Structures are given as C-alpha cells and as structure tokens.
Amino acid sequence: MSNSVPLTLHVPEPGCRPGDTPDFSGFEVPVAGETRRPDPLTAPEDIRDLAFSIVRVLDDDGEAKGPWAGTFEKEALLDGLRHMMTLRTFDDRMLRAQRQGKTSFYMQHLGEEAVACAFRLALRDGDMHFPTYRQAGLLIAGGYPLTTMMNQIYSNAADPIKGRQMPIFYSAKDHGFFSLSGNLGTQFVQAVGWGMASAISGDTKIAAAWIGDGSTAETDFHSAMVFASTYKAPVILNIVNNQWAISTFQGIARGNATTFAARGHGFGIPAIRVDGNDYLAVHAVARWAAERARSGHGSTLIEHVTYRSGGHSTSDDPSAYRAKEEGHSWPLGDPIERLKAHLISIDAWSDDRHKQAEAEIQDEVRFAQKEAEANGTLISGPAPSPRDMFEDVYAEMPPHLRAQRQEAGF
Amino acid sequence: MAQLTMIEAIQNAHDLAMERDDRVVVYGEDVGYFGGVFRCTAGLQQKYGTSRCFDAPINESGLIGTGIGMAAYGLRPVVEIQFADYMYPAYDQIVSEAARLRHRSAGDFTCPMVIRMPTGGGIYGGQTHSQSPEALFTHVAGLKVVVPSNPQDAKGLLCAAIEDPDPVIILEPKRLYNGPFDGHHDRPVVPWKKHELGEVDDAYYTTEIGKAAIRREGQDVTVLAYGTMVHVALTAAEETEVDAEIIDLRSLIPLDLEMIEASVKKTGRCVVLHEATKTSGFGAELSAQVQEACFYHLEAPIIRVTGWDTPYPHAQEWDYFPGPARVGAALKSVMKED
C-alpha cells in the first residue's frame, strides 16, 4: 500500500512574493570574524565547513573582525570605496541614458558593487577574468576608461567592438576582461581552459571564472568543475549568488537543499562562501583562492552571497515577482554603506568627505559621458560603418563575404 | 615520400605540427596514452609529454569550452571529438562562442582552434556513429569546414587548419581511414598503400583551405563531391562510362566557387553528392550556388544524390548509403536527351 499514494511534483517557491512581508529569519548570518581562516593550502576535505558558513569581516558597527581582516592598507581601501561609488554613479547615469533613448539596454550592479571591485584588486595584471554581465566593477577597479565603456554602451563610432554587441558586452584583453557572451555559463569552462593553458605554458598567470546562481544549472558549470578538478587548473571559480535569476529565485537552480558552494565538494574542489556585500571579506577570500591557484594547488569555488537590489536589466520589472521591501530587509546590508562606516570608524573618512567624493565622481562620470556622446549614441550616431559588420568574421575575408558586402553596397 | 593510410597521415600531421610549434596541444577522449580509438594521435603523448597530448573527460562541451580558453590564451589546441555524432553537447560552444569570438570582440580575442571529428557511415555504426553533420557547421558564420578524401589532403589540411587563425572543423570520413572506399561494400577493400593519393610527403606541408581539386577531368557533367563520395563518384563514372568531371571540394567553407563555376559552364550539367540527409543538406547550398552562377549554361536540372531523410540505420546501412548504383543512375539521368 505504501506505493499507492499519488505522487506530486515539488516546485520550490521563494519565501516572499509581492504583497508578502519579507522574512530572512531562516537565512543564517554568522557573526563577523567568527569563520575560521585555514591555511590556503589546506586539503579540501579539511575545510568542508567553509561551504556552509559565510566569511564576514565587517560587523554591524563597521569594525573589521577576525582572521580574514587586515588584507588592506588604508589608502587602498579609500580606492576601493571610490571604485564602488564610481560604479554606482556610472550605473545611474547609464540607466538614465537608456531611458532617454540613447541606448537600447543596460544592466546595473546595485547592491553587488563589492564583489567585482574587491575581487579585481586580489588578482594581478595579466590574469584573465571571464565575467558575466554584472562584473563591470572589474573594469572600473582595473582602471579601464569610463569613456570607453560608454562608447561600447552607445555603440558609437568609437566603440572598440564596432557596434557588434549589445550594451555592456565589453571586451578588454589588455585589462584582463574576456569578451562577454550572452549565452550563460559558456565562459565558466573557457576560463578553466585559459588556466590550463597557463599551466601548460609554465606561466604564472591565473584565470577567474564568473557565473550567476541561476546559470550554475547549466551543463557548462558541471563541465568546468570536471575539468578544473581533473587538471587542478589555476582558476578561481566564482558564483555570484544574488538570489534572483530574472524572476526565478535561487532555489530553482539548486533546490533548497544545500548551498551553491557545496557543489565543489563532489569534485574535491575547496569551496567557500563569502559575504558579497563585505568589501574586505571578498578581497580576503579572493586573495586566499589566488594563493592556492598560483601555488599550483588548483581551483577554488567561491560563492559570493549578495542581493540584486535592482532589476535584472532595463527590460525587467522586479515588482512583478518579488516584494518591493525585500531589498531593504536583506540582512547583509549595502556594500558602500558598510565600507564607508568602516572607514569612518578608523578615522580615514567622514560624511563630509563622502559627500565631496560623491560630487567629484558625479563630475567625473558626467565628463566621461559628455566625451562619449561626442562620439555618438545609438540613436544620434555617428555609428560604426555598416562595412564593419563584414569584418572579423574571419581573419581574412573569404570570397563569399566579399561578394555579400559588395551586394549590400558597402 | 611514404605510403600512408589516412590515419597515419593525420598522426604525422599532428607530430610535425607539434614539433615545429610549442603552442600546439592535442587532447580528447582516449587521445593521450592510448592514442585515440582510431589511432590518429598514437605516440604523441610519449613523444611530447602529458601536458601537450592528454586524455580528457567524456564531456564534449568541456572539450571545446576549454579549447576556446586555451586558444584565447594563445595556444593552438587541436581537439578530437571521438565521433561527429557526439558533437551536439558542444554545439553551443562551437556556434555561440568559438565561431563568433573574433567578430564579437572585434579581434580583441580570437579562437585559432582545430576540431577534428570522424564522420560518415559505412562501418555499421548505426545512427550514433555514422552521421555527417557538416551542414550544421556550414550554416554558422565564422567557422571553416573541411573534409579530406585522401591521406595527402588529410595531412595538408590538418597542418593548414592548425596554422589558421580561425576555428576549423575537420570532418574525417572514417570509412576512408584505411582505404579509398568506393561504395562497393561487398568487394575487398583497396588499401591506401596502392593508391597514388596515399603517397604522402615526409616533410611538413599545408593544403590551402578553400581550394577544391579535380579528381577526374570530363566534358559532360560536373560532379560535386567531398569525402567518401569522391571515390563513389569515380567508380560510378567508370562503370557508367559517363564523361564526368569530378570535383573534390575538400573545403566546404570557404567554397571554391570559381572552380565549380568554370566546370559547370564547361559541362552544362551538375550532380551533387553527399552522404548526409538530403533536406537542408549542404547539397542544397551547392545546388543553389550553381544555379545562381550557371543557370543559363545548364542543360538539365541539378540532381542531388544523398542519404535519405531518415536516421542512419544499422542493418539497412547499404540501402541508406548513396552508393555507385544510385550515383551512376543520376549520371545517366542528367545525360538523357529529351
């Protein structure tokens, strides 16, 4: 009789939908400074607990606590704050530009600024990132010109990729930023190949792979884990868990059974969760993983626990599927506010200086925008030449493309 | 000069390319220690070490995905997909990533990668070891697609593909690995050892990608073929005594339209052959290109002789395969005066 009960399909649901009161009481937030910091060369089986905890450095009062603290000098932290503020201001300007019709599309980083900005500073020039569409912080923290980013967003005459890709699909090899793809997860395994190539060549460079919580369900995530584990590839495998894949909550990609980080264990890849809204913690964990990779100990899986405070993109309205107040209830706070509080607590910063910095950054971004718009916008032009469309399909244009270009009149 | 099988010629191409260029790395399923299920990479790991020729997990998207990363780094990966039929999990990586990387980054990143895959039927491989998926690649902007029909070209095209700055797909007709199979499955196999195209130069050389070759000159009908079908066409011409000009395309993308056009304008007739299924096959493209370029020179409709639009069968393999009888009938049919 035990098998006579009709079966039902289990479909996970988020705890909170529009109209509900957000409730994160089931979300365990470890006390800052309490998660242990093992030696980076510790065997994966001895640090399994790190896949279920969350490394946090900054506490609620902005104090840096515990064994993961202290990877930064004061001056570098001021730079870090500035990078995050610049990214947020940049996002704000570009969202407005999109609404003004100057470009077709934009994706912002609101609430997730610490992840890429802090991570970038833990890697070196020459290392290669294989980012998703929400890691522009890598460019900004790496000193890539804002104007060039905007040229790409506007698909204007100075767009380095000649208007061929949607806005924010940057490519910047010299800045360690691999060309973006809109097919999710594909680049996770490419990063592993890049790391393998560095090892094959006896190089000292490492790669960083990036993927979102939703895309870990892709087969390429599995492929990357298999290859990374088999060849001990020098690559840091980053999952940015911002809780939402467009309208789909993270539980759809993993069930509500475990953490994303825990996926590393089946592959023997050490896995660690970090407070993605804690600039200091992200940097410390990235540095720990980079040390492992650079010393020939292979890959590390990092789950950055954060929250996508804005919409998925300018084509998305999150109020249709999640409670408006959910972001305010998010227990890990805002990355900029938290770093600012820390800097104030160590007497390196003040509210006045913060306001002044905001004004400076506004000017800087506005200036970059003016400069970019002088090269054109998607609507006003000047645009890249239609002739460019036929270039770079191959290194050398084959006869059939030459004929088609001629037919098109270019 | 040595008499080599196609397998030996491919192995030799790998060997010479690895010797002259440290950036060449070779990997795939069973490719390392064992040297490949068809032996095309035999001895390479022993000679060049495990970091330049190695076994890979059974994971085609991972094979191609890692290859793209390696190529972007600056290596020259040569990846073997064990059977073309196993390619599908890697299709996204090939189409959305390898093929478009140069274009989407405006040359900031490139993908000089070679993907080899044994293709075609004739070995009782059923529907999962016999397919000819070339049209799934020729439809993709950014890929080059080549199909050798003999040991000489197999070596030259592989060397050229490894030097090429863009991704190249090499479809190796596995039924040709050991001899110039002409479709007469009930007759003894002729080995490459006795064939003039089995004579392979010992030195490194390349065969230009994009250039076809005339395998038989003729006046009455142009036959467009590649891979195994080149040999079937030669036999069919001999058996029917139709004076066919047989063009071995060698490269599907880029296509040597110049040679095709000159031949069809001379003969006024055209028969297109392939083993793959008919509908939306590469033969449809060939047929369209020929009529666009040569319509007023044609004296008969273009005929396609291809595999049927069914999955590749096991027991009925020789009813499926477009052998010399079907090809011969097509040659006679285009020659009919009425």
Beta bridge pairs of residue A125: A127
Cα–Cα dist A156/B16, whole Å: 46
At residue B272, does pLDDT exceed 90? Answer: yes
Task: Report the residue from B70, B253, B257 with minimal CB separation from A197.
Answer: B70
At residue A121, does pLDDT exceed 70? Answer: yes
Exposed e or buried b per residue across B292-304, where buried means at least 16 C-beta atoms within 10 angstroms of its C-beta: ebbeeebebebbb
Q: How confident is the model at residue A255 (pLDDT cuts 50, 70, 90)?
A: confident
Percentage, residues of chain B above pLDDT 70: 100
What CATH number labels B213-335?
A: 3.40.50.920
What CATH number labels B2-200?
A: 3.40.50.970
Question: Minimal Cα–Cα distance from A218 to chain B, Å?
Answer: 11
Q: Is B75 on the interface with A (CB under 8 A)?
A: yes
Question: Minimal Cα–Cα distance from A247 to chain B, Å?
Answer: 24
Chain A interface mutation, best of B27, B53, B59, highest count of A Cβ atoms under 10 Å: B59
Give ∠ CA A231-A235-A236 in degrees, rounded to 5.
135
Residue written as token pair 């052959």: B273
**Averaged pLDDT score across all residues of chain A:** 96
B74-127 pLDDT, tens digit each: 999 999 999 999 999 999 999 999 999 999 999 999 999 999 999 999 999 999
Phi, psi of B2 (to 5 degrees): -135, 155
**Averaged pLDDT score across all residues of chain B:** 97
- Interchain CB distance below 8 Å, A400 and B254: yes
Topology alike, domains B2-200 and B213-335: yes
Tell me the three state secondary structure of residue B271.
strand
- Interchain CB distance below 8 Å, A169 and B104: yes
Q: Provide, as residue numbers in chain B, all residues whose Cβ is less than 8 Å from the Cβ of A167.
A: none
Cα–Cα dist B318/B323, whole Å: 8
Fold of the domain spanning A29-310+327-379 = Rossmann fold (3.40.50)
Confidence (pLDDT) at A289:
98
Beta bridge pairs of residue B273: B305
Beta bridge pairs of residue A248: A245
Residue of A nearest to B253 (CA): A398
- Mean pLDDT within A129-157: 98
- Mean pLDDT within A319-325: 93
Phi, psi of B274 (to 5 degrees): -160, 160
Per the model's pLDDT, the better-predicted residue between A314 and A3 turns out to be A314
Q: Provide, as residue numbers in chain A, all residues whose Cβ is less than 8 Å from the Cβ of B106.
A: 160-162, 164, 171, 391-392
Q: How confident is the model at residue A1 (pLDDT cuts 50, 70, 90)?
A: low
Q: How confident is the model at residue A383 (pLDDT cuts 50, 70, 90)?
A: confident
Cα–Cα dist B139/A299, whole Å: 37
Q: Is B231 a catalytic residue?
A: no
Question: Minimal Cα–Cα distance from B84 to chain A, Å?
Answer: 19
Q: Is B52 on the interface with A (CB under 8 A)?
A: yes
At residue A144, does pLDDT exceed 90? Answer: yes
At residue B268, does pLDDT exceed 90? Answer: yes
Question: Minimal Cα–Cα distance from A135 to chain B, Å?
Answer: 17
- Mean pLDDT within A213-223: 97
Cα–Cα dist A221/B205, whole Å: 39
Cα–Cα dist A113/A70, whole Å: 20
Task: Give the E-state strand segments of B278-319 in sequence order.
Answer: 303-307
Chain B interface mutation, best of A151, A189, A391, highest count of B Cβ atoms under 10 Å: A189
- Mean pLDDT within B25-49: 98
Q: Is B293 on the interface with A (CB under 8 A)?
A: no
Q: Which residue in the list B14, B129, B231, B274 is annotated as catalytic?
A: B129
What number is the ipTM of this complex?
A: 0.97
Determine contact, residues B98/A218, Cβ cutoff 8 Å. Answer: no
Q: Report domain extents, chain B.
A: 2-200, 213-335
- Mean pLDDT within A256-277: 95
Determine contact, residues B56/B27, Cβ cutoff 8 Å. Answer: yes
Beta bridge pairs of residue B229: none
Task: Report the residue from B62, B73, B105 with minimal CB separation from A198.
Answer: B73
Residue of B183, B210, B178 whose CA lies nearest to B194: B178
